[in-house]
């Protein structure tokens, strides 16, 4: 009777679907469960607190949410929209006591950016939100006027009038205008300055500041950079005008930390109840948790065991290195989630599909495989400021593994880890013997010795870590040592004073110059 193969690791670990897709604000707000399961990270909570401070100060109700690509800005906007518009959803969200009483009730008006004029998109979104609002409020005359004459002032007045209409006929206190990917509109405005789209934002910001409490208007633009950065190709006068418009919006940064990324990785992974690590995980975690290793960020020691367990099958050292790698590559949450479920070479999604689940010895996604993913996928076409060191490291690893006699499998894995950690230059993760042993196991010292004997890695006293040997075919240090040994003791001293080899500097008599006013120079 044939023996059935052991199950795949993918049968026990998977990525939750909501983490694998990008957010489209208009589409997702039409679905009642769009923000269900949203995790309010530390940076998102700070942004939320920044938004809600404007409840007490109407002058601050024009806001710009700024953060890198894939940082979760659109997801935060969807969460904010549901928090302010859905009372049932708000009841399920646990917020700090300082925030919970400040949440207004607002009707969201979502707009998703495109490289086109902003004014028509604002009017279309406002009409759609008004028609979909409960209570069937009548269309204000100001909105009809703006549609016939779409000037910046008319559009702002239409939003003010609609906010008051909504406040009078629905449970909402006003409007929340959310312009996602606003940078696309600004790019279009910079290329077509004659259309004056940028001044629509100025009028909306000023309207938000003067809107009454019973008819509030909140405006939030969501971008990757400051508004004035899109005007770099315009003239100096126009750049100044854009800067004045940008100053009317209070900036809210959304820049996730490495610890937040580690936390989100664990929340994105779903473990089946039948998954058992049988003490193997604790053995892998122990060297990382050692105070002598000093691998963990400050204040993370108590939380890290839970974070690392939730992130299985990532090895604990891999979990520490992963956010650093994506940060150095200029990537963020979205790229991390693509790695978790991707089927590319060395992606974790493929690892789950290929790896068998062994209850006695569960497999881990280790640091050397993360190097492979960076080489083949993440950094394959990297052109950033540190591209040259990375591609040189990849070339050195490939050349070293092709030499004869071949390296052992463990030595190759250690070499990849040294290459990755050297490029990351993270002070908490040096390519030291302790970190390498924590990442790959107790047999690492033998592999390190083999690599040193083959002159593939060298110990750096200044960095206190191993690095790849980047020398050529000639051992310059050895040649210099041999040359010095063949010289007499006074040869170097004579050479240093030989004017035919070293041109001696001219000497200026400074005291003579001070006393007489005449510069006198002598040559040795």
Which residue segments constitute the domains of the chain, with CATH numbers given? 42-253 (3.40.50.300), 260-468 (no CATH), 489-523 (no CATH)
Task: Check residue 112 and give its pLDDT.
Answer: 92
CA dist 75 to 18, 39, 260, Å?
A: 11, 10, 15
What are the tens digits of pLDDT across the range 59-90? 899 999 998 877 889 889 999 999 999 888 88
Give the tokens for residue 349. 């999604």
The rounded distance, in Å, linking the Cα atoms of 47 and 49 is 5
The rounded distance, in Å, linking the Cα atoms of 351 and 359 is 17
Give the tokens for residue 338. 């693509």
The rounded distance, in Å, linking the Cα atoms of 214 and 163 is 8
Which residues sit opposite 62 in a β-bridge?
219
What confidence category does residue 493 fall into, taking pLDDT thresholds of 50, 70 and 90?
low
Question: Does the pLDDT at position 456 exceed 80?
Answer: yes
Single pTM value for the model: 0.77
Give the tokens for residue 55. 């409840």
The rounded distance, in Å, linking the Cα atoms of 103 and 83 is 8
The rounded distance, in Å, linking the Cα atoms of 202 and 205 is 5
Cβ–Cβ under 8 Å, residues 183 and 113: yes
Q: How many Cβ atoms are within 10 Å of 80's Cβ, its own excluded?
A: 25
Cβ–Cβ under 8 Å, residues 428 and 294: yes
Average pLDDT, the chain: 86
Task: Check residue 101 and give its pLDDT.
Answer: 64
The rounded distance, in Å, linking the Cα atoms of 285 and 269 is 19
- Helical packing angle, 433-440 and 280-289, nearest 10°: 170
CA dist 385 to 149, 174, 226, 325, 389, Å?
A: 48, 46, 22, 14, 9
Question: Does the pLDDT at position 495 exceed 70?
Answer: no
- Helical packing angle, 333-341 and 316-328, nearest 10°: 130
Q: Which of 419, 416, 397, 405 is nearest to 453 (CA)?
A: 405
Question: Does the pLDDT at position 1 exceed 50?
Answer: no
What confidence category does residue 419 fall into, taking pLDDT thresholds of 50, 70 and 90?
very high
Number of residues that make up the chain: 524
Count of H-run helices and E-run strands, the chain: 25, 11
Positive or negative torsion for Cα 352, 353, 356, 358: positive
Once rounded to an integer, what is the mean pLDDT over residues 44-62? 90
Give the tokens for residue 60. 């601050």
The rounded distance, in Å, linking the Cα atoms of 42 and 65 is 15
All residues at 6 or more sequence positions from 90 whose CB lies less than 8 Å from its CB, including other chains? 82, 83, 84, 103
All residues at 6 or more sequence positions from 226 whose CB lies less than 8 Å from its CB, including other chains? 64, 66, 246, 251
Once rounded to an integer, what is the mean pLDDT over residues 40-49? 88
- Can you tell me whether residue 306 is helix, strand or coil? helix
What are the tens digits of pLDDT across the range 256-280? 888 989 998 999 999 999 898 878 8
All residues at 6 or more sequence positions from 47 whose CB lies less than 8 Å from its CB, including other chains? 65, 76, 252, 253, 254
CA 95-101-107 angle, 5° bins: 90
First to last CA, the chain: 97
Q: Environment class of residue 518 by beta-carbon count within 10 Å: exposed (0-12), middle (13-18) or buried (19+)?
A: exposed
Half-sphere exposure in the Cβ direction for 206 (13 Å, CA) = 13
What are the tens digits of pLDDT across the range 275-322? 988 788 899 999 999 888 889 888 888 999 999 999 999 999 999 999
The rounded distance, in Å, linking the Cα atoms of 289 and 284 is 10
| Least confident range of 31-45, 121-135, 229-243, 449-463 | 31-45
Question: Does the pLDDT at position 437 exceed 70?
Answer: yes
Cβ–Cβ under 8 Å, residues 8 and 14: no
């Amino acid at each position: 009777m044939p023996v059935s193969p052991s199950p795949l690791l993918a049968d026990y670990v998977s990525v939750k679907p909501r983490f694998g897709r990008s957010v489209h604000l208009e589409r997702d707000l039409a679905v009642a469960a769009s923000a269900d399961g949203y995790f309010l990270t530390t940076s998102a909570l700070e942004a939320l607190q920044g938004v809600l401070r404007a409840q007490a100060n109407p002058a601050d109700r024009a806001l710009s949410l700024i953060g890198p690509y894939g940082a979760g800005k659109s997801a935060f906007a969807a969460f904010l929209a549901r928090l302010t518009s859905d009372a049932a959803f708000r009841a399920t969200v646990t917020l700090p006591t300082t925030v919970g009483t400040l949440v207004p009730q607002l009707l969201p008006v979502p707009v998703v950016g495109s490289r086109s004029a902003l004014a028509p998109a604002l009017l279309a979104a406002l009409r759609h939100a008004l028609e979909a609002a409960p209570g069937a409020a009548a269309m204000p005359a100001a909105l009809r006027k703006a549609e016939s004459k779409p000037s910046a002032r008319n559009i702002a007045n239409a939003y003010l009038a609609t906010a008051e209409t909504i406040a009078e006929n629905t449970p909402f206190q006003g409007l929340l205008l959310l312009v996602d990917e606003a940078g696309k509109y600004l790019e279009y405005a910079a290329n077509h300055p004659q259309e004056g789209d940028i001044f629509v934002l100025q009028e909306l910001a000023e309207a938000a500041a003067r809107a009454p409490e019973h008819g509030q208007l909140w405006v939030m633009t969501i971008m990757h950079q400051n508004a004035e950065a899109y005007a770099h190709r315009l003239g100096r006068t126009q750049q100044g005008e854009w800067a004045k418009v940008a100053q009317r919006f209070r900036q809210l940064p959304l820049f996730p930390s490495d610890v937040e990324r580690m936390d989100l990785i664990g929340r994105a992974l779903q473990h089946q109840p039948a998954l058992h690590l049988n003490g193997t995980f604790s053995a892998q975690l122990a060297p990382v948790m050692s105070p002598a290793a000093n691998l963990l960020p400050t204040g993370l020691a108590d939380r890290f065991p839970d974070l690392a367990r939730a992130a299985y099958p990532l090895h604990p050292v891999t979990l520490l290195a992963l956010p650093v790698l994506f940060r150095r590559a200029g990537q963020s949450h979205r790229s991390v989630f693509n790695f978790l479920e991707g089927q590319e070479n060395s992606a974790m999604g493929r690892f789950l599909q290929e790896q068998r689940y062994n209850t006695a010895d569960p497999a881990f996604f280790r640091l050397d495989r993360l190097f492979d993913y960076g080489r083949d996928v993440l950094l394959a076409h990297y052109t950033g400021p540190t591209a040259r060191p990375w591609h040189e490291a990849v070339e050195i690893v490939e050349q070293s593994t092709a030499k004869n006699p071949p390296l052992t499998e463990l030595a190759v894995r250690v070499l990849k880890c040294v290459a990755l950690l050297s490029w990351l230059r993270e002070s908490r993760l040096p390519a030291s013997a302790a970190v390498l042993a924590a990442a790959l196991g107790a047999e690492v010292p033998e592999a390190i010795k083999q690599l040193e004997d083959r002159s593939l890695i060298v110990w750096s006293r200044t960095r206190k870590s191993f690095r790849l040997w980047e020398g050529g075919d000639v051992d310059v240090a050895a040649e210099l040592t041999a040359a010095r040994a063949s010289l007499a003791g006074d040869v170097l001293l004579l050479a240093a004073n030989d004017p035919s080899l070293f041109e001696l500097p001219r000497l200026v008599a400074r005291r003579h110059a001070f006393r007489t006013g005449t510069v006198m120079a002598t040559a040795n």
